[in-house]
Amino acid sequence: MKILTVDIGTGTQDIFLYDSNLDIENGFKLILPSPTMMIHRRLKQSLHTRTPILLTGHQMGGGPSAWAIEEYARAGIPVYMTPAAATTLNDELDKVEALGIKIVGEDEAKGLRSKVESLELRDFDFELISRTFNDYGVSLNDLDAIAVAVFDHGNAPAGVSDRQFRFDYLDERIKARNSLSSFAHLSNDIPKIMTRLQSVADSAGDLSCPLVVMDTAPAAVLGAMFDPTVAKREQKIVVNIGNFHTIAFRMLGETIEGVFEHHTGEIDLEKLEFLLRRLADGSLKHEDVFNDMGHGALVYGKTPFEFGKDEFDLVVTGPRRSLFNRQSKIENRKSLIPYFAVPFGDMMIAGCFGLLAATAEIMPNLTEAIIRAMRGVRGPWRGVAPWDSPS
């Protein structure tokens, strides 16, 4: 059995190919530039030529790609975008046009292709990934599933904060089924409001196997919980410090007791530790984060736990985890001691392991084989523990 997992962030896309014939530590993996960084670099290279650009395809991650597109437009170079591609910048297309970008239909786009440089926007390019593996003699023609994670703010209605809209979605998923894997969906069951997740499914095209899509933040946290040291702690806070967003889940076993999500660029170590301590003792309020330009906070568990006693109840993962560099500690202040999770020996693909675990939960026909691969690791499984699975 083979399952391709792809965790798409701002800086990198982290790819892990699970193969039931191999020990999980021997699975093939790739750490490559993220799609948004690829578009950013391509446009920066073309900027000096002042060649008009046509952007087609699908909604994809913004950040670097959006900055480069907007820079192109500010330079007075013609930029054309199809409606679906334009939602990469804003779901409200009139705001995209206000940047000096022209929205064109598919027929007009076809007529422009011979006159401009054309780029297709997409988060997930299965053909490119498949060719890369194929160059190393590894075929992806026999996959049993594909699982892809991206960060999705959702399509907030006009006048509604996308930060609040995103956090309302987190709250709804946790209340519907209190599990980190509740943020994973089969491609035919994606909530309509989650337009970036749907764009991943649309850009995947006709696949020969099922597709699972998931939010990146819970995927990373779920994957980090397969570190054997982390798994021994029944109660803990797991924080994923991403390039753009930081999310922390207060966990009791596999149950989510609380969560907050903030923008990484808006926090420093002192602020992060303040939020973590208040998440632990249950005093953190939604407005503490939202009014500070973050997404928000919710506490579900009624009983606080004593936090920071040792290095195993604060678990840290993510590409910006160096925020907890001990040399940056403020003098004369007792700081939290982080434990840096390394599930199956590799922090960089924690999200891929989370995708794999979520796939096991929502695709029952694959559950037994995946659990067997992770057997012996006390992971956050619902209803069955890895060591209880059949041989």
- pLDDT tens, residue by residue, 68-107: 999 999 999 999 999 999 999 999 999 999 999 999 999 9
112 φ, ψ (degrees, to nearest 5): -85, -20
Domains 36-121 and 229-341 share a fold: no
Query: Which DSSP string corresponds to 202-243?
Result: HHH-S-SS-EEEEEHHHHHHHHHTTSHHHHT-SEEEEEEE-S
Examine the pLDDT at 267 and tell me if it is beyond 50: yes
Residue 92, helix vs strand vs coil: coil
- 26: amino acid identity, one letter: N
Residue 382 confidence class, pLDDT cut points 50, 70, 90: very low
Position 376 confidence tier, pLDDT thresholds 50, 70, 90: very low
End-to-end Cα spacing for the chain: 16
User: In the prediction, which pLDDT does 62 show?
Assistant: 86
Q: Are 220 and 341 in contact (CB under 8 A)?
A: no
Chain mean position to CA 176: 20
| CATH class name, domain 36-121 | alpha beta
In angstroms, rounded to a whole number, what is the distance separating the alpha carbons of residues 186 and 211? 6
> What is the 8-class DSSP label of residue 244?
S
Q: What's the predicted TM-score (pTM) here?
A: 0.92
CA–CA gap between residue 183 and residue 117 (Å, rounded): 37
DSSP 332: T
Please check the confidence at residue 227 and state whether its pLDDT lies above 90: yes
Q: What is the spatial distance between Cα 46 and Cα 230, in angstroms, rounded to a whole number?
A: 46
Q: From the CA atom positions of the chain, what is the Rg in Å?
A: 21
Q: Could you read off the pLDDT of 18-47 as tens digits, one per residue?
A: 998 888 999 999 999 999 999 999 999 999
- Is residue 366 left, alpha or beta, with left meaning phi > 0 and alpha meaning psi from -120 to 50? alpha
| pLDDT digit string, tens, across residues 142-201 | 999 999 999 999 999 988 999 999 999 999 999 999 999 999 999 999 999 999 999 999
- Better-predicted residue by pLDDT, 391 or 98: 98
Average confidence (pLDDT) over 341-353: 95
The span from the CA of 173 to the CA of 358, in Å, is: 14
Q: Which of 1, 39, 40 is nearest to 360 (CA)?
A: 1
Mean predicted confidence (pLDDT) in 306-313: 75
Residue in this structure with the two tokens 């679906």, named with its chain if needed? 84
Is the CB of residue 357 less than 8 Å from the CB of residue 381?
yes
Alpha carbon distance 136, 115 (integer Å): 37
Task: Look at the domain 229-341 and name its fold.
Answer: Nucleotidyltransferase; domain 5 (3.30.420)
Residue-range domain boundaries for the chain: 36-121, 229-341
* Strand (E) or helix (H) holding 6: strand 2-8
Distances (CA, A) of 384 to 19, 43, 253, 361, 388: 22, 49, 13, 10, 7
The H or E element spanning position 198 is helix 195-204
Tokens of 156: 């907030």
Question: Closest Cα to residue 299, out of 311, 287, 313?
Answer: 287
> Is the separation of the CB atoms in 347 and 374 below 8 Å?
no
Structure confidence at residue 352 (pLDDT): 98
d(CA 7, CA 218): 11
Assess whether pLDDT exceeds 80 at residue 342: yes
Name residue 213's beta-bridge partners.
148, 185
Q: Which of 121, 116, 114, 119 is nearest to 150 (CA)?
A: 121
Res. 379: pLDDT tops 80: no
